[in-house]
Structure 1
Amino acid sequence: MAFTSQYFTADHHFGHSRMLENRPFSDTDEMDRHLIDAWNSVVRDGDIVWHLGDFSYHSEDRTASIFSQLRGRKRLILGNHDLDNNGDIRKSIAGLAWDIEPTHYAECKLDGDRIVLNHYAQRTWNASIHGSWHLFGHSHGRLPAFGRSRDCGVDCPDVGFAPASFKNLTASMRNAEVVA
């Protein structure tokens, strides 16, 4: 029996040249290649990857090419850059073979932990007073963790541009709860 892992990530912005202002790459081709390699160094074919928004800035063909190179069953929580000016899912994003239909919000459970997924950080979230967790993107590692809420995007210094497991994302937060 194969074991399926779940990973969380956000804010790849494949092909988005403005990301080069804060990332150590010379051009978007180098950035895209590094992000693909980092993803595939962690994710296996059957694993689930929750992408919490802002997937790609490329054309349909280039976005589809990148998508096909990424391992795993990909699920998208829509970010602001995944939508067009009318608020509809960008054509280059909508046509991809997502594991489930892209959505603005989702919840999942892992080992008894309830996890709320959104592109945006929230001060309070569903079941937060009952111990649920909240993962988000959008802030590119600039927004510190708050209670049981944290950024899981590729720009966070502790993820190395790769999707991360829930256990790794929450380890330091759980340690802080024990100390408090």
Structure 2
Amino acid sequence: MDAALAAAWNAAVAPKDEVWHLGDFAVGHKDPAGLLASLHGTKHLVWGNNDPPAIRALPGWASAQPFAEIEREGHALVLCHYALRHWNGQRKGAWNLHGHSHGTLKPLPRQYDVGVDPRGYRPVRLDELRPRAAAAA
């Protein structure tokens, strides 16, 4: 399973792509540092409930934090491991990207569960969310 997830990551992510991992990285993996080093992209961690300090401190993260607000491709993004009920800029078009819920929550407008289980077991590209985002805007 680990090899399949890593292969799916590397098929979806180019070496120079930026990736924001929204928590629970390498749960139970015997060599998380080796796994992280094998994955393409500049990798940022927004840690989750299964990311102890040792995971957060792995070499290979460009950054590691509990929460992030960024702008990419003209979109204000609020990144958190957990789905938020309200977020900064929500009424002004900001999106909330999250993991944790494994596809079990009904999303609010402009809220996306980008965890691997509801997304084909691979990272999701921001442009893949646009068709739904346009309908929800």
For normalisation by structure 1, the TM-score amounts to 0.71
Structure number with the higher strand fraction is: 2
Q: Tell me which residue corresponds to 1:46.
A: 16
Q: Tell me which residue corresponds to 2:126.
A: 166
- State which of 126, 148, 153 in structure 1 corresponds to 2:88: 126
CA distance 1:108–1:92, change in 2 (3 Å): closer
- Superposed, 1:69-108 pairs within 5 Å as 69-83=38-52, 89=53, 91-100=54-63, 102-108=64-70
Deviations 1:92-120 (A, max 9, x none): 441232112x1011111122210000000
Instruction: Say if 2:70 and 2:78, in contact at 8 Å, map to a contact too.
Output: yes
How many residues get paired? 137
- State which of 99, 102, 111 in structure 2 corresponds to 1:140: 102
**Ranges of 4+ aligned residues in structure 1 off by more than 4 Å:** none
Q: Which runs of 5+ in 1 are unaligned?
A: 1-30, 84-88
CA distance 1:163–1:98, change in 2 (3 Å): same
- Residue 57 of structure 1 and its aligned partner are, at CA, apart by 2.3
Instruction: Write the distance in 2 (CA, Å) between the matches of 1:104 and 1:46.
Output: 24
Deviations 1:60-97 (A, max 9, x none): x61111111100111000100003xxxxx2x2441232
Q: Tell me which residue corresponds to 2:37.
A: 68
1:153 and 2:115 aligned: yes
Q: Which runs of 5+ in 2 are unaligned?
A: none
Instruction: Write the distance in 2 (CA, Å) between the matches of 1:135 and 1:57.
Output: 20
Instruction: Write the distance in 2 (CA, Å) between the matches of 1:112 and 1:49.
Output: 17
- Residue 174 of structure 1 and its aligned partner are, at CA, apart by 1.8
CA distance 1:96–1:144, change in 2 (3 Å): farther
Instruction: Say if 2:102 and 2:115, in contact at 8 Å, map to a contact too.
Output: yes
